[in-house]
Amino acid sequence: MSRVGNNPIRVPEGVNINLQNQKIIVSGKLGSLEQDFHDINVNLENNSIFLSRNSETSDAKSKHGLYRSLINNMVIGVSSGFTKELELVGVGYRASVQGQRLDLSLGFSHNILFEIAPEVKIETVSEKGKNPIIKLTSHDKQLLGFVAAKIRSFRKPEPYKGKGIRFVGEQVRRKAGKSA
C-alpha cells in the first residue's frame, strides 16, 4: 500500500485542473504543465485530487506514489514555483547572463556558453568577497533539476580543495592530501 499515493493533493486558489482521458493539465499564474498517467485513477473533488490504483499489480503499485508526487509538484510549480541556487567556488570563477545564455568562466582555456530553456529564468549574483551565485527559477521542477545538474556537471566539486560548482548548502566531503 502506497503511503504517499493515498494522500490527497490540495489545490490552491487560482490553479485549474483539466482531466482528459489519460492526461492531466495543470495551469496557474506561472504557466501550464501536463502529465500522462497509466494504471491510475485520478479524481477531483472539493479542491482536492485523489489518486487510486486500477489493479494491484506491482507496476500499478509503483506508479501510485510516483504520479501523486509528479502531480503535486505540478500544482506547487504553477502556483508558487521552484528555485535552485548554485555557488561557484574557486579563484577566478565567474558567471554572467546575456538573455537566456549563461557565460561561465571556470578555469578552462575558454568560457562555457550554455543556452538555457525559455521556461527557466536565470539570474547571477556577484558580491565582492563572496562566491558568485547562479539563481534558477521555474514552474517545472523536472526541467529545473535537469538544467541545474547540467550546469553543475561542467565543473563538479573536487574533494581536495572543494573547488567547483555546488548547490548552495551542499556539503562536499573533503579528503586529506598526500601525507609526507
SS3 92: coil
Residue extent(s) of CATH 3.90.930.12 domains in the chain: 9-79, 82-167
Bridge partner residues of 69 (DSSP):
none
The topology under which CATH files domain 9-79 is Outer Surface Protein A; domain 3 (3.90.930)
The CATH number of the domain covering residues in 82-167: 3.90.930.12
Those residues with Cβ within 8 angstroms of residue 99's Cβ, 6 or more apart along the chain or in another chain: none
Tell me the pLDDT of the chain (180 aa) as tens digits.
558 888 999 999 999 999 998 899 999 999 999 999 888 999 999 899 999 988 888 888 888 989 999 999 999 999 999 999 999 999 999 999 999 999 999 999 999 999 999 999 999 999 998 999 999 999 999 999 999 999 999 999 999 998 999 999 989 999 988 875
The C-alpha atoms of residue 53 and residue 57 are separated, in whole angstroms, by 9
